[in-house]
């Protein structure tokens, strides 16, 4: 087993329908949830890579149902792409296990899946250019559009209430009350900020309950590093990380794009003066999203594009704060106080969005006039 790998991928590999010999495995990417590996395989004299992932089953309680969602979604998108020679780069392609299932369960109870590795493309942890913002947003908008006619029953909710902000707020209140890791005293400013913004938590759910914005099939985790950008063309090539594709609101997806693609700072940046909502990036996101999703969006979705950015940034900030208060039980961390650092950038970005919200709304209104 490679010394950097927590798991023995050589033992997992033969359980999937891949012809060829295992060569090596290395931990890959910067996701906060699953264990991801790039696996090199020798096939007919050339080297091929695959993505292997151990699904985090503490977080996703029912991996077989989750993989059923992903199989349905990827097959549907592939049926639209058709025989394009680049098809296995344009949508994730699930490699079946030897037993025909879209996953393999190892003797320790871990669930594994394998995807074709999308080569000649990369993910960005920090936004670099307006073009990338435009392309990422267009790709996620298009992804939502491709799933408008997904046949069959409602997708399984892989994490119930995932973007239910009032519920996320309650979870924060409970963690604060319990203060199980004895950390509340070290997060006073952030706790006060979280409490002061509670009022906005229910706005999108209220609009949904009033019949003004519809439930759709949405991605729900549209952070910038969940879309692959083509190295040569700079175009969005493939939407990845489909664990949370399920019923949701379109604005959850746009909001998370604003959260992750308008600030020039890392999600865990310690220097908060670097964190800010940049209007040219927001404009690129709006343009990309309207070009990608465009025609199916209703009036109240468009009118809340800027607000969704503020709300989702607040919501993820609440989740980081909750996890910090609970002793880091959810998000992977690399240093002490990591979740508090992440929370601080989110709340700083909420402030920056608030400062510019009128201008953001005016920009959107001008586009759709
Ligand atoms: P997590 O849920 O932990 O965020 P992801 O599914 O987003 O896991 O995968 C982590 C990283 O692995 C991604 O950000 C991306 O860089 C890379 N990755 C995932 N799937 C593929 C793929 N099929 N081809 C190339 N890279 C991929
Ligand atoms: C997680 O899996 P990843 O790293 O793409 C999280 C998102 C958060 C994000 C914050 C299933 O996303 O909801 O917004 O971290 N995914 C899950 O960076 O909780
Ligand atoms: Mg991810």
Is residue 123 in contact with ligand 1, taking CB distance under 6 Å?
yes
Is residue 29 in contact with ligand 1, taking CB distance under 6 Å?
yes
For 147, which DSSP code? T
Is residue 268 in contact with ligand 2, taking CB distance under 6 Å?
no
Q: Are 148 and 217 in contact (CB under 8 A)?
A: yes
Is residue 240 in contact with ligand 1, taking CB distance under 6 Å?
yes
**What's residue 368's pLDDT?**
85
Which ligand 1 atom is at minimum distance from the Cα of 32?
A: 3
Q: What is the pLDDT of residues 79-127, one digit of tens each?
A: 999 988 899 999 999 999 999 999 999 999 999 999 999 999 999 999 9
Residues ≥6 apart with Cβ < 8 Å to 250: 144, 213, 216, 218, 293, 297, 301
| Average pLDDT by stretches of 10, the chain with 369 residues | 81 97 96 96 96 98 98 97 92 98 98 98 97 98 96 97 98 98 98 98 98 98 98 97 98 98 98 98 98 90 98 98 98 97 98 98 93
Q: For residue 242, how far is its CA from the centre of ligand 3 (angstroms)?
A: 9
Q: Are 294 and 141 in contact (CB under 8 A)?
A: yes
Which ligand 1 atom is at minimum distance from the Cα of 93?
A: 23
**DSSP sequence for 19-63:** -SEEEEEEE----SSSEEEEEEEEETTEEEEEEEEEE-TTTSS-H
With H, G, I as helix, E, B as strand and everything else as coil, classify residue 236.
Answer: strand
C-alpha dist (Å) from residue 244 to 8, 76, 163, 227, 241:
27, 16, 10, 14, 8
**What's residue 3's pLDDT?**
53
Ligand nearest to the CA of 59: 2
Q: How far apart are CA 102 and CA 143, in angstroms?
A: 21
Q: For residue 359, how far is its CA from the centre of ligand 3 (angstroms)?
A: 31
**What's residue 2's pLDDT?**
57
**What's residue 5's pLDDT?**
84
C-alpha dist (Å) from residue 239 to 88, 186, 233, 235, 338:
12, 38, 16, 12, 27
**What's residue 366's pLDDT?**
95
Q: What is the pLDDT of residues 182-237, one digit of tens each?
A: 999 999 999 999 999 999 999 999 999 999 999 999 999 999 999 999 999 999 99
For 331, phi and psi rounded to 5 degrees? -80, 140
Is residue 28 in contact with ligand 1, taking CB distance under 6 Å?
yes
Is residue 92 in contact with ligand 2, taking CB distance under 6 Å?
no
Q: How far apart are CA 160 and CA 180, in angstroms?
A: 24
Q: Are 123 and 259 in contact (CB under 8 A)?
A: no
Q: How far apart are CA 31 and CA 46, in angstroms?
A: 29
Q: How far apart are CA 32 and CA 222, in angstroms?
A: 13
Q: How far apart are CA 139 and CA 235, in angstroms?
A: 9
- The fold of the 9-119 domain, in CATH, is Phosphorylase Kinase; domain 1 (3.30.200)
Q: For residue 47, how far is its CA from the centre of ligand 2 (angstroms)?
A: 31
Domain regions of the chain by residue span:
9-119, 130-367
Look at residues 61, 118, 116, 109 and name the one whose alpha carbon lies nearest to residue 89.
Answer: 118
**What's residue 1's pLDDT?**
59
Which ligand 2 atom is at minimum distance from the Cα of 59?
A: 11
Substitution candidate for ligand 2 out of 33, 66, 267 with most atoms within 8 A of CB: 33
Question: If you classify domain 130-367 with CATH, what class do you get?
Answer: alpha beta
| pTM, to two decimals | 0.97
Domains 9-119 and 130-367 share a fold: no
**What's residue 295's pLDDT?**
83
């Amino acid at each position: 087993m490679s010394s950097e790998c927590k798991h023995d991928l050589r033992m997992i590999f033969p359980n999937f329908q891949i012809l060829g010999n295992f060569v090596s495995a290395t931990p890959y990417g910067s996701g906060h949830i699953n264990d991801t590996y790039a696996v090199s395989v020798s096939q007919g004299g050339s080297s091929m890579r695959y993505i292997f992932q151990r699904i985090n089953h503490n977080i996703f309680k029912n991996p077989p149902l989750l993989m059923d969602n992903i199989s349905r979604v990827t097959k549907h998108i592939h049926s639209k792409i058709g025989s394009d020679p680049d098809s296995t780069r344009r949508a994730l392609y699930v490699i079946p296990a030897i037993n025909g299932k879209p996953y393999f369960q190892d003797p320790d109870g871990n669930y594994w899946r394998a995807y074709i590795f999308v080569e000649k493309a990369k993910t960005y942890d920090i936004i670099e250019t307006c073009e990338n913002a435009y392309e990422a947003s267009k790709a996620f908008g298009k992804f939502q559009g491709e799933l408008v006619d997904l046949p069959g029953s409602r997708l399984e909710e892989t994490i119930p209430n995932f973007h239910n902000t009032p519920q996320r707020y309650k979870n924060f209140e409970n963690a604060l009350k319990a203060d199980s890791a004895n950390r509340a005293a070290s997060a006073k400013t952030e706790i006060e900020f979280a409490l002061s913004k509670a009022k906005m938590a229910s706005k999108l759910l209220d609009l949904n309950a009033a019949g003004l914005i519809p439930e759709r099939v949405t991605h729900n985790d549209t952070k910038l590093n969940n879309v692959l950008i083509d190295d040569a063309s700079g175009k969005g090539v493939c939407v990845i990380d489909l664990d949370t594709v399920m019923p949701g609101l379109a604005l959850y997806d746009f909001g998370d794009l604003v959260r992750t693609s308008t600030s020039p700072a890392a999600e865990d940046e310690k220097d908060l003066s670097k964190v800010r909502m940049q209007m040219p990036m927001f404009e690129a996101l709006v343009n990309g999203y309207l070009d990608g999703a465009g025609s199916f969006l209703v009036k109240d979705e468009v009118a809340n594009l800027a607000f969704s950015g503020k709300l989702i940034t607040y919501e993820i900030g609440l989740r980081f704060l909750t996890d910090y208060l609970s002793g880091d039980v959810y998000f992977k961390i690399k240093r002490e106080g990591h979740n508090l650092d992440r929370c601080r950038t989110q709340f700083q970005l909420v402030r920056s969005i608030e400062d510019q919200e009128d201008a953001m709304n005016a920009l959107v209104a001008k586009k759709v006039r």
